[in-house]
Structures are given as C-alpha cells and as structure tokens.
C-alpha cells in the first residue's frame, strides 16, 4: 500500500481551516462570553460588598444614636431630679423664713411684755406659728415645681361646685398669678395641665407675695393656691380653734 502525501496534505489543510473557523466563530465568542460573565459576577459581588458595608455603617450609626438617646434621657432625668430638689429646698427655705419672721415678731413683742400671763400667751402664739409653718410645708405638692402647683390648682378647680367653677371661668381677663417669671416651657406645661379643667388662655402676672404657688384670677374672683394663702388660712384656723384640735 502506497502512502498518498497529496491526500494527507489536503486533509491537513482541511484540519487547519477547520481550526481557524472554530477559533474565529466559536472559541473567541465563547471566551468573550466567559469574560463578560466573570465581569458581571465580579460587579455583582462588588455591589453586594458595598451594600453590606453601607448596612454595617447604618447599623453602627443606629447603635451610636441609640446610645446618645439613652445618655440624653439619663441626663434629662438627672437634671429634672436636681431641679426638683433645688426647687423643694428653695420653697422650704422660703417657708422657714416666713415662719422665722413670725417667730421674730413674737419674740419682739415678748421682749416688751412684762407679765407672766402675757409671756404664756406669746409662748402659745409661738407654738401656733410653728404649727402654721409645719402645716404649710406639709401642703407642698410633690414635687414642689410649677407643674406640681398647676396640678394642685387643677384639683382645686375640680373640687369647686359646678356653679362656682362656671362663674369663675366666665369672668373676663383670666390671669395666672405666679411668684416669679415663668419660662415658656413652664407656661406651656401649665396650659396643658389646666386645659382639661376649661382653662387654656390666660395672662401671667408676677405676684411675689405668693411666696410659692399658682393662683387663677378673673374678674369674677380668685382661686387661691399658694403658700402665702396656706399660711394665712392656717393662721386664721389656729387663731379661732384650740391648737390641740388641729
């Protein structure tokens, strides 16, 4: 059998042509498709990593915000407690000062009294003054803040008869009497507390003789709600009744 080199040459050429065709129409598109898929896969992975990084940042920011909010809440509670204690101390000092003035007046009168009977009477008056101070201190709201006195004022309104309450609120020029200038926050708090009782609009008038408290005044009358009024009421009661019955 004789080997045909010509036929072998044609077959070799056919194989080379086939490989060239496959390379141009199959291998190159296939490689481009694989490269594109790899690029898309890498882009998706990069996007997922970016989303995860953003989620981690958002979670970190949320945790930081929560921590700050909790710290702010604790600071607000501590500040409110400190302010309430300071207000309580201030009111107690003012009440003690009022009681001390009563005692000082009694002692000044005692120094001018010569008879034992008069001294006994003044001793009794001193005891009454001490009872006045103690009862006035026990009547303080808890806490003794503007909001606390506003709550007590709302309760006093609720305790009035329907006719008396309607008559008082029907009066013109409603005013809230306070012993010192109120802040906008305190005024808003008082309005919120008194609104259910039918009082929402009023002018704030400073009356330092109240010592502490809030009173409601219209042209129809005044609803008392202050340490000065408590001292006066208790003093009158003790002046007409025996101290042992108080």
**To 10 degrees, what angle do helices 28-111 and 227-240 make?**
30
Residue-wise DSSP of 40-85: HHHHHHHHHHHHHHHHHHHHHHHHHHHHHHHHHHHHHHHHHHHHHH
Least confident piece of the model among 40-49, 88-97, 169-178:
88-97
Two tokens, residue 142: 């808890």
- Taking the domains of the chain in order of start, what are their residue ranges? 1-54, 146-227
Looking at per-residue pLDDT, the higher value among 215 and 114 belongs to: 215
Least confident piece of the model among 71-75, 78-82, 93-97:
93-97
**Torsion over CA of 203, 207, 212 and 214, rounded to 10 degrees?**
-30
pTM above 0.75, yes or no: no
Q: What is the spatial distance between Cα 223 and Cα 212, in angstroms, rounded to a whole number?
A: 14
Listed ranges 27-31, 58-62, 88-92, 220-224; the one with the highest mean pLDDT: 220-224
Give the C-alpha distances (Å, rounded to integers) separating 155 from 79, 99, 152, 158, 197. Answer: 27, 27, 5, 5, 9
Two tokens, residue 28: 């190159």
Could you check whether the bond before residue 75 is cis, i.e. omega within 30 degrees of 0?
no
pLDDT value of position 97: 76
Q: What are the strands, taking DSSP E only, across the chain?
A: 175-178, 203-206, 215-218, 221-223
Give the C-alpha distances (Å, rounded to integers) separating 166 from 17, 171, 190, 197, 224. Answer: 111, 9, 20, 11, 16
Tell whether the model's pLDDT for residue 125 goes beyond 50.
yes
Q: What is the spatial distance between Cα 110 and Cα 120, in angstroms, rounded to a whole number?
A: 9
Mean of all residue pLDDT scores within the chain: 78
Q: What is the spatial distance between Cα 129 and Cα 122, in angstroms, rounded to a whole number?
A: 10
Tell whether the model's pLDDT for residue 98 goes beyond 50.
yes
Q: 188 pLDDT band (50/70/90 cuts)?
A: very high
């Amino acid at each position: 059998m004789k080997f045909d080199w010509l036929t072998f040459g044609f077959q070799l050429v056919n194989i080379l042509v086939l490989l060239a065709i496959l390379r141009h129409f199959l291998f190159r598109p296939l490689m481009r498709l694989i490269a594109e898929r790899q690029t898309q896969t890498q882009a998706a992975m990069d996007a997922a990593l970016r989303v995860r990084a953003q989620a981690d940042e958002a979670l970190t920011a949320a945790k930081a915000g929560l921590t700050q909010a909790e710290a702010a809440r604790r600071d607000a509670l501590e500040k409110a407690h400190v302010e309430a204690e300071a207000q309580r101390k201030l009111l107690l000092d003012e009440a003690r000062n009022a009681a001390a003035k009563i005692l000082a007046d009694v002692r000044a009168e005692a120094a001018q009294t010569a008879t034992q009977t008069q001294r006994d009477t003044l001793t009794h008056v001193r005891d009454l003054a001490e009872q006045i101070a103690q009862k006035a201190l026990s009547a303080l709201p808890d806490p003794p803040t503007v909001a606390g006195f506003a709550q007590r004022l709302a309760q006093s309104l609720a305790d009035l008869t329907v006719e008396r309450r309607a008559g008082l609120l029907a009066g013109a020029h409603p005013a809230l009497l306070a012993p010192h200038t109120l802040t906008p926050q305190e005024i808003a708090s008082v309005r919120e507390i008194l609104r259910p009782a039918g009082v929402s609009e009023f002018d704030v008038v400073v009356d330092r003789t109240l010592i502490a408290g809030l009173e409601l005044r219209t042209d129809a009358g005044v609803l008392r709600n202050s340490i000065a009024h408590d001292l006066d009421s208790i003093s009158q009661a003790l002046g007409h009744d025996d101290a042992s019955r108080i």
